[in-house]
Amino acid sequence: MEVSIEPSWKEEMSEEFSKPYFAQIASFLKTEKKAGKIIYPPGPQIFNAFQYTPFNEVKVVIIGQDPYHNPGQANGLCFSVADKVAPPPSLVNIFKELVDDVEVAPPKSGNLEKWARQGVLLLNASLTVEENKPMSHSKIGWDIFTDQVIRHVSDHRDHVVFMLWGRFAQNKEVLINTAKHKILKAAHPSPLSAYNGFVGCKHFSKANYWLREMGEKTIDWTL
Active site residues: 66
- Are residues 79 and 90 in contact, defined by beta-carbon separation less than 8 angstroms? yes
The partner residues of 130 in beta bridges, in order of sequence, read 39, 133
Return all residues near 60 (Cβ < 8 A) that are at least 6 apart. Answer: 115, 119, 120, 121, 160, 161, 162, 163, 207, 211, 219
Greatest pairwise CA separation for the chain in angstroms: 52
Q: How far apart are CA 116 and CA 207, in angstroms?
A: 15
Which residue in 14, 74, 69, 12 sits closest to 37, CA to CA? 69
- Where helices occur in the chain by DSSP H, the ranges are 7-12, 14-17, 20-34, 48-52, 89-102, 113-116, 142-156, 166-170, 203-213
What is the CA angle 36-132-162, rounded to 5?
A: 115
